Amino acid sequence: MSKIKTIRLPIEQELKDFEPYFKKSLKSDVPLLSTILNYMYRTKGKQLRPMFVFLSAKLHGETNGSSQLAACSVELLHSATLVHDDVVDESYERRGTFSINALWKNKLAVLVGDYILAKGLLLQLEDKKYNFLHLISRAVQDMSEGEILQIKKSRKLDIDEETYFEIIRKKTASLIATSMAIGAASVTDDPDIPEKMYRIGQDAGIAFQIKDDIFDYQAKGLIGKPTGNDIKEQKITLPMLHVLKKSDASERNRILRLIKRKNKNKAVVEELIQLVVENGGIEYATEKMNEFKEKAINSLMEFPDGDARTSLVELVNYITTRKK
């Protein structure tokens, strides 16, 4: 049995029930919109965030209808942001298939993302889940701020480590944090528990994003070479930040000039990847990733033992050891 299947065991029924619930939430009477949404549903990913929702809920009580609503709200937000991200990043591929904007152009992609986001917010309002609405709205704000900050820093290339962590905390970690918080909120009225789960999810989410940033300098899975996509998009992430911090002023300026002016040149991208590898950038980023992972796991261990806690710990381990 694969690692992810083992992790899913305590919430197998919840995830099975989630599939039709999520698919129904994406329905539209507009034929073109329905076609696009069906395409998006068929190309969905591992649904890690609903797993965080259900496991967090099960850690603190019995999952229920509110837990399904919570998982659906999170996955709708995640889906909307992916559609918007592909437009912002001018990306024409998502999970090995064409992105929405590649097939239906940017205007429709933006509108589809808006529609999905609105569907999630309406679900919460219709069920009068105002605490869910607060959590999801906070995530939308954080993710938007993180994306805008990253775009600004990519243009000027004046990022430091503190700003890098602020960007990934807002842009990526906030949604995993929200997943764990909203899961807990679906089964308990104690406001302290969702906030504690939010902080744990934030640490796990930061570790998750650092792992993604490491991938850019390594071959993913068993195929291909490092993509260097971050360099091509002028995004300076933790592995490169470590090299810049170690370099003298002259070398630092040379690297920044290459990223700014030659970031599309294949030979230059490969040279910069090699520079990161040779100067310990991957090892440094891995060390930082493990610090956040261990912090999240140690906090989880404060809760009573059980299948949900075991799977949550394994899920945090999985997102930092995955091969793609």
Distance CA 197, CA 74 (A): 15
Mean pLDDT of 120-143: 94
Residue 224 has pLDDT above 80, yes or no: no
Q: Does the pLDDT of residue 323 top 90, yes or no?
A: no
> Mean pLDDT over residues 119-142, rounded?
94
What gap in Å lies between CA 126 and CA 148, rounded to an integer?
A: 31
**pLDDT (average), residues 291-300:** 98
Report pLDDT for 233.
86
pLDDT in tens, 22-79: 999 988 899 999 988 888 888 777 789 999 999 999 999 999 999 999 999 999 999 8
Whether 273 has a pLDDT exceeding 90, the answer reads: yes
Q: Does position 226 have pLDDT exceeding 70, yes or no?
A: no
Q: What is the DSSP string of 248-297?
A: -HHHHHHHHHHHHHSTT-HHHHHHHHHHHHHTTHHHHHHHHHHHHHHHHH
Residue 221 has pLDDT above 60, yes or no: no
pLDDT for residue 68: 97
pLDDT tens track for 177-200: 999 999 999 999 999 999 999 999
pLDDT score, position 160 = 92
pLDDT of res. 222: 40
Residue length, the chain?
Answer: 324
Q: Which one, of 210, 215, 277, lies nearest residue 243 by Cα?
A: 277
Task: Read off the pLDDT of residues 278-293 as tens digits, 9 standing for 90 and up.
Answer: 999 999 999 999 999 9
Total-model pTM: 0.92
Is the pLDDT assigned to residue 88 strictly greater than 60?
Answer: yes
- 119-128, long-range: CB < 8 A, 24+ apart: 119/25, 119/26, 119/76, 120/25, 120/72, 120/73, 120/76, 120/77, 120/80, 123/25, 123/69, 123/72, 123/73, 123/76, 124/69, 124/73, 127/66, 127/69
H or E stretch at 97:
strand 97-98
Tell me the CB-side half-sphere exposure of residue 129, using CA atoms within 13 A. Answer: 26
Q: What is the pLDDT of residue 227?
A: 76
236 φψ region: left (φ > 0), alpha (ψ -120 to 50), beta (else): beta
Query: Quick check: 223 pLDDT over 70?
Result: no
By percentage, how much of the chain surpasses pLDDT 70? 97
Q: What CA–CA distance (Å, rounded) separates 14 from 182? A: 15
Handedness of CA 121, 312, 222, 264 (dihedral sign): positive
Say how far apart CA 278 and CA 115 lie, in whole Å: 46
Residue range 1-9: mean pLDDT, rounded: 87
pLDDT, position 110: 92
Q: Round to the nearest angstrom and report the end-to-end CA distance of the chain.
A: 18
Q: What is the mean pLDDT of residues 269-278?
A: 93
Both tokens of 173, joined, read 């970690």
Question: Domains of the chain (ranges plus CATH)?
Answer: 8-215+280-317 (1.10.600.10)
pLDDT value of position 83? 83
Q: DSSP alpha helices (H): ranges in 26-173? A: 31-42, 48-60, 65-88, 100-126, 130-156, 161-168
